Structure 1
């Protein structure tokens, strides 16, 4: 459920943000990363527009974040690189997914479209549990999937804190920086060909509350700072997210 979409705002630290997005070009690919204090925290989808969706945890993803101030958008925005952001307040019902387990996007929907990785002969492996929260049709040939990716795995959370939020959920939103990546396979010689829209929220604050919500199937509010400049999707596609996120959830029926 979309609770509120604020006007787009310029946010971020122009000098030394703690979180940044970068890309590295080699002879064979142009790789993207979310960095924390200059260290790779997640490898992201390639820029090619036909490559598989990706968020793969790296060694720089070891801590959570907090920020103080009356305006959480400005407060958490100060951790991010300077750019345009679309603040969204969402209500989500998170479902924890284990890599290669039931409901894993990478082992199910992605394999149906792209197949297994050609070299490894395996699905993409995100190296982290993550939460699935929402999906809906974009149009007859495209589907939106939403993920919340914790900066540290749920196994790092303190059980007492999770139990506290199960007993008293609280009203403050959890906070994430988000990107929209859009990709479709280069060849239509696949079992289920369509365009994948991946709205990925990298969780900054609220790891215990998110786990508590998943364990109780209870809704929680998410403040998303959607980075317009740092996903693979054009700004015109990012602009569609508030409207898509206001739709009712609609699971996709795989092609026969």
Structure 2
């Protein structure tokens, strides 16, 4: 189960990120680059360097961001939040620093994701938390993976980066509401898989989109009460 370390509401208005949001159909939402869908983030269904390069960002600054995430962050520093505008699309967010304990799950048809927590909000409401990779574990570099496993085994906590959403589902039975809190990884695929292998936590810097979530502001505010 994830543990909330810190959060801050922010707006990004001068982003150079190549990533954009794309909605299609009822409660369907995608992350896209130049119109090409890279991840379905709807509820019915060491990459930061790549994104920075695609945005035209100076690679010296991009490497600085990557290095800081690899070292692990402990506070939501405003200067670093500003640096990340090369990766996060314009919008209204709550920047959230979490400690996560990822546990990888694989579906029979090959889909991978991480379970990060399950909480009861009330007797008829529950929250499920997931971390969703864009890159498959089979494509990970084994040398980099082993390096991160060694690091988390000696209690280092590198930081992964995600765009996140809170989506409210209304099932037909058992629960009145299921709150799906999903983190789509922009950076940290090796870190997350290593944390699962080592059975150790890492930190996750999550930009929760207020604009794009299928949830009200009141429900988003309740989320942080539940996480605290």
Tell me the TM-score normalized by structure 2: 0.78
Cα contact 1:99–1:129 (8 A) shared by 2: yes
Q: CA RMSD in A?
A: 2.2
SS of the residue 1:218 aligns to = coil
1:88–1:30: structure 2 CA closer, same or farther, 3 Å change rule?
A: closer
Work out whether 1:73 is the aligned partner of 2:72: no
Report the alpha carbon displacement of residue 183 of structure 1 after superposing the two structures with TM. Answer: 1.1
Pair 214,231 (structure 1): closer, same or farther in 2 beyond 3 Å: same
Question: Alpha carbons of 1:140 and 1:206: their partners in 2 closer, same or farther (altered >3 Å)?
Answer: same
| Number of aligned residue pairs | 198
- In structure 2, the gaps of 5 or more residues are 50-61, 66-76
Aligned equivalents of 1:30, 1:17: Cα separation in 2: 24
The aligned residue for residue 2 of structure 1 is: 4
- Structure 1, residues 17-49: CA drift from partner, whole Å, max 9, x if none? 311111124xxx46322213421122233xxxx
The question of 1:171 aligning with 2:151 is answered no
1:32 aligned residue (29, 32, 39): 29
Matched, 1:22 2:22: yes
Q: Say whether the 8 Å CA contact 2:27–2:44 is kept in structure 1.
A: no
Post-superposition Cα deviations, 1:70-97, rounded to whole Å, max 9, x if no partner, equal 8442233332221111011101110000
Query: How far did 1:13 drift?
Result: 4.0
Alignment of structure 1 residues 88-167 onto 2, 5 Å: 88-100=96-108, 128-167=111-150
Instruction: Determine if the alignment matches structure 1 residue 41 to structure 2 residue 38.
Output: yes
Q: Equivalent residues in 2 for 1:209-228 (5 A)?
A: 209-228=191-210
User: Which of the pair is proportionally richer in helix?
Assistant: 2
SS in 2 for 1:54: coil
- CA deviations on 1:172-230 (whole Å, 9 max, x unpaired) are 31111101110103xx4x4x233111111011111111111000110101111111101
TM-score normalised by the chain length of structure 1: 0.70
SS class of match (1:5)? strand
**Matched position secondary structure for 1:240:** helix
Q: 1:172 to 1:215 in 2, by over 3 A?
A: closer
Q: Residue in 1 aligned with 2:53?
A: none
Q: Conserved in 1, the CA contact under 8 Å of 2:106 and 2:113?
A: yes
2:55 maps to which residue?
none
